Structure 1
Amino acid sequence: MIPPMSYRRLGRSGLFVYPIALGTMQFGWTADEATAQEIMDAFVEMGGTLIDTADIYTTWAAGNPGGVSEEIIGRWMKSRGNRDRVVIATKVRGAMGQNGSEGRGHPLQREGLSRKWILRAVEDSLRRLQVDYIDLYQVHWVDNQVPIEETLSALNDLVRRGYVRYIGASNFSAWRLMQALWASDKHGYESFVSLQPEYSLAQPTRANFEREIARVCETYGIGVIPYSPLAGGFLTGKYRRDQPLPESVRAQEITNRRYSEQNWAILDKVLEVARQRGAHPAQVALAWLLAKPYVTAPIIGANSVAQLRDLMPAAGLQLSREEVAALDEVSSWPLSRTEREV
């Protein structure tokens, strides 16, 4: 556990969180409820505060209509009586119900970022979580069918009503994030305090985030809470050259997305630093993210308490400038002329 003074402020909000956040997409999918409760108990015991979920978790799992993760978290908080000890973040955008089948009529009436759907979705999330308010309510990804002004106006109303404390975005490009910040400033709406992007040492994920979005977040004080910070498990060291795939529901996806010469070189460097520091490779990958000034708390997933215990010490692992530079170099990409001139 790290001392409270090491907790980090989420963007320019009034939320201060432990530098490692707990993702819960696996709850009700690859981790049953009893295991999920054990994981959350251990997370809080080790100082963790920010628990991230989404209304659609996890509709792609057989028999899961969405909302299951929120319900598990809600029952856990009620049984533990610890609502004030945790920061709850959830998301809105996706279609609910098995394969998005909940609701009737036009898709915008059962998904998206329209005022109508947001107002319904937030009440459903509050009910499932068994809370009076949500600390961080995030739009899961862009809705091209709805003006950003309508979305922000609805979110602004949620804050005014006390349903939501702060708002954030996920999976927004740089120009979409700037559009939202500009609209909030122009109309006096609540503004996004955080961004949840896919971001890790692995390529092309690092380049996709750092090319433009990182600069926006750093300039405008947007807290970054990266998902998939271990590249789906690739950076944990369980994937190796010319070896059989580990048993994992995501193993084939990792093969397709991460197997490249550069990513093997990145993993080699992570393993080297880990050996020198006596740390788990995953801790090194997380510590590299925490060395970035705009990153607040990478979001980790765990299917067991043992996995969680391997990852949480990353919050206290401070890499040297030389170690960060070495990891930066091996994971770098050729800069375009525009990038060189910025």
Structure 2
Amino acid sequence: MRYRTLGASGLRVPELSLGTGTFAGRGPLFSEWGGTDVDQARRLVDIGLDAGLTLFDSADVYSDGAAEEVLGAAVKGRRDQVLLSTKLGLPTGEGPQDAGTSRSRIIRGTEDALRRLDTDHIDLLQLHGFDAGTPVEESLSALDTLVRDGKVRYVGASNFAGWQLMKSLAAADRLHLPRHVVHQVYYSLVGRDYEWELMPLGLDQGVGAMVWSPLGWGRLTGRIRRGQPLPERSRLHRTAELGPPVADELLHDVVEALDEIAEEVGRSVPQVAINWLLRRPTVSSVIVGARDEEQLRENLGAVGWELTPAQVERLDAVSHRPAPYPRFPYERQAGFARIDPPLFPRP
């Protein structure tokens, strides 16, 4: 396992991290993801640490906080060997203080997370979404308090739009408050919108990416094929509408290219898809999920080797799609390499 700096910070993180959305398995959404209990989670942590995977990511909304409890119990006795990342800001109840990133919510939410994780500090705390009803200065000030109190080490954001992230970074610089060093984002071979605005922003501002759903909401497992029905056990039967949409033609074209390359390199389709992500600009860590030991070991096989430049170029080409609206400024700017060098080859 190789390690990378988290954005422009000094924190070094493993190129793969483990998401805990499968822990506990409470509620209609997360019960579809998995139901990992403490003993099973402890075993996953064992396997991860043996491979050098030291970063574990959670959130207060995962199984109504129970995922954090399972994670805290699983790392008990070896807290100094791991990095704990969690998120807050999405609604957790119907009360007026149960959503958003006000000072009250951030402070209380962090105290609750510390209790559930059974730790005295969180290595990385991310705002799980942009709160348009709270000034960014208020949110950043609350994060500053937590950092100064030693309860949080680094701060980040998740699922922000470009202007929202830039507004937060500018306020942090102006007021000398903690900057977001990471942006947790959706990014995959069947979902490359991150590249158009958020990736250049990350490069310019020193914000690393932690990638969630690197297999496109379960579509890049290698089990979904052109002209065939969804596998009976696929969670897409029940949760497809909750994840990022993907056109069937794009999915099948990408999977067929992954198939060819997987055969060439002696790896699986998911391993090739994750390895491609690890070569992309700004990516600090790719978050993998695992229902069981077998899935975790499978995902760990995505590291320790590299695709060839020609193989990367093939995947770039088959997964490329035109810029989203407003597409004109992106495409127009791309024609002037002297003032805007391309981040990566475009077909």
> TM (normalized to structure 1)?
0.89
The yes-or-no answer on 1:250 pairing with 2:236 is yes
Q: What does residue 61 of structure 1 align with?
A: none
What stretches of structure 2 of length at least 5 have no aligned partner? 26-33, 334-347
Q: Aligned partners of 1:8, 1:276: CA distance in 2, in Å?
A: 28
Q: How does 1:1-342 map to 2 (within 5 A)?
A: 2=1, 6-29=2-25, 30-33=34-37, 34-58=39-63, 66-78=64-76, 81-96=77-92, 100-101=93-94, 104=95, 107=96, 109-202=97-190, 205-206=191-192, 208-246=193-231, 247-254=233-240, 257-335=245-323, 336-342=327-333
- SS of the residue corresponding to residue 35 of structure 1 reads helix
Q: What does residue 62 of structure 1 align with?
A: none
Q: Aligned partners of 2:209, 2:311: CA distance in 1, in Å?
A: 22
- The one-letter amino acid paired with 2:200 is R
- The one-letter amino acid paired with 2:73 is R
What do the CA deviations read for 1:28-60 (whole angstroms, capped 9, x no partner)?
1112313222222211121101100001112xx
- SS of the residue corresponding to residue 156 of structure 2 reads strand
2:101–2:127 contact (8 Å) kept in structure 1: yes
Shift of the 35–259 alpha-carbon distance from structure 1 to 2, 3 Å rule, reads farther
User: How big is the shift at 1:94?
Assistant: 2.0
- SS of the residue corresponding to residue 213 of structure 2 reads coil
- SS of the residue corresponding to residue 245 of structure 1 reads coil
> TM (normalized to structure 2)?
0.88
Q: Aligned partners of 1:138, 1:175: CA distance in 2, in Å?
A: 17
Kindly tell me the number of residue pairs found equivalent between the two proteins: 318
What stretches of structure 1 of length at least 5 have no aligned partner? 59-65
What CA RMSD, in Å, does the superposition of the two structures yield over aligned residues?
Answer: 1.5
Q: Aligned partners of 1:46, 1:75: CA distance in 2, in Å?
A: 20
User: How big is the shift at 1:242?
Assistant: 2.6
User: How big is the shift at 1:259?
Assistant: 4.4
Q: Aligned partners of 2:250, 2:219: CA distance in 1, in Å?
A: 13
Q: Aligned partners of 1:261, 1:248: CA distance in 2, in Å?
A: 19
- The one-letter amino acid paired with 1:188 is H
What do the CA deviations read for 1:43-95 (whole angstroms, capped 9, x no partner)?
1121101100001112xxxxxxx1101100111122xx111111110011123
What do the CA deviations read for 1:11-39 (whole angstroms, capped 9, x no partner)?
12222111111000110111231322222
Larger mean CA deviation between 258-267 and 273-282 belongs to 258-267
- The one-letter amino acid paired with 1:31 is G
1:118–1:154 contact (8 Å) kept in structure 2: yes
Q: Aligned partners of 1:171, 1:39: CA distance in 2, in Å?
A: 27
Shift of the 239–254 alpha-carbon distance from structure 1 to 2, 3 Å rule, reads farther
Larger mean CA deviation between 18-27 and 332-341 belongs to 332-341
What do the CA deviations read for 1:205-251 (whole angstroms, capped 9, x no partner)?
21x21111110011111110110010012111011123232203333
- The one-letter amino acid paired with 1:151 is S
**Identity percentage over the alignment?**
41
Q: Aligned partners of 1:161, 1:277: CA distance in 2, in Å?
A: 49
